[in-house]
Amino acid sequence: MRAIFEREVSSYYNGIQGYLCGAFILLFAGIYTMGFNLTDGLAAFESVMSYMDFILIIVIPILTMRIISEERRQKTDQLLYSLPMSMTKIVIGKYFAMLVVLILPLIVICAYPYILSMYGDVSLKTAYSAILAYFFLSAALASIGMFISSLTENQGISAGICFICMLVIYYGSTLANFIPASGIASLVAVASVILLVGLILNSLIKNIAISAGVTAVLELILGGAYLLSPSSFENLFPQIVSELSVFDRFYIFTTGIFDITSLVYFLSITGVFLFLTVQSLEKRRWN
């Protein structure tokens, strides 16, 4: 695991990727600190972090695009498969390397509120909790990006799909608000999402019987639930999306609240997608 980790870190910093991600985060952190804290004289550093979220839409695809897809393209995955090391360790080694690339610029950013506090009354606790939450948020998104990278051997495609996913996650809760509050609208929206999940499942396992079966069962349960209690479907979809939204969870921290359930939520997402990445790699052994 350590060997994989070291190789990936050195690969990030032998090339441009590691520096690019760091520079991007630091550039925007600098601009917003300049604007909010220095020019406008705002004493809350967490508001800087609240505007930093959209940068992840660009940083995460750059960070994750080649992490696994490149192994497939160069056929070095054969080496990984033949190593006396479990796939879980390999995936975790790679994941930790990505975390290093994410955490290094954040360590630099940690100095900002401290420096600002020398010249004014800055709440360090809320500032650092916002930075911590930002790290957890980016770690969760990186695991999603890593999973996407494991699905293709073309890093361009991986980056593209990852970018679209990040956009959907970012704007998800805003878009969901456009869905009418009526029960039937939520029913249709949830049914469409189930259908989409079924299609993705089918493209992954390439077994139409299983994926169609799973989709049908889920749709039936949904239909049954709607028939039983149509009223509970009112405004359901926007609510679900908002509950699941990774970014909404992050905004809680930027308002000065330390919400431990949100951190657990970020960790759960990370766990699920690391698991899926391992499965995606293990599955390739079977094909």
Q: How many residues bind other proteins (CB under 8 A)?
A: 23
How many CA atoms lie within 13 Å of 114's alpha carbon, on the beta-carbon side?
Answer: 7
- CA gap 223, 221 in Å, rounded: 5
Nearer to other proteins, 46 or 77 (CB): 77
Nearer to other proteins, 82 or 229 (CB): 82
Nearer to other proteins, 6 or 243 (CB): 6
Does 207 bind other proteins (CB under 8 A)? Our answer is no
Which amino acid, 74?
A: Q
- Asked whether 224 and 218 are in contact (CB, 8 A), the reply is no
CA angle, corner 102, sides to 249 and 151, nearest 5? 80
Does 14 bind other proteins (CB under 8 A)? Our answer is yes
Does 125 bind other proteins (CB under 8 A)? Our answer is no
Shortest Cβ 14–other proteins spacing (Å)? 6
Does 192 bind other proteins (CB under 8 A)? Our answer is no
Does 15 bind other proteins (CB under 8 A)? Our answer is yes
- Asked whether 240 and 189 are in contact (CB, 8 A), the reply is no
Shortest Cβ 285–other proteins spacing (Å)? 5
Does 84 bind other proteins (CB under 8 A)? Our answer is yes
Question: Which of these segments, 10-18, 36-44, 135-143, 259-267, binds other proteins (CB under 8 A)?
Answer: 10-18
Nearer to other proteins, 11 or 123 (CB): 11
Collect all residues with Cβ–Cβ distance below 8 Å to 244 and sequence separation of at least 6. 172
- CA gap 210, 47 in Å, rounded: 47
- CA gap 251, 54 in Å, rounded: 12
- The pair of structure tokens assigned to 271 is 């766990």
Shortest Cβ 146–other proteins spacing (Å)? 18
Residues binding other proteins (CB under 8 A): 2-4, 6-7, 11, 14-15, 74-79, 81-86, 285-287
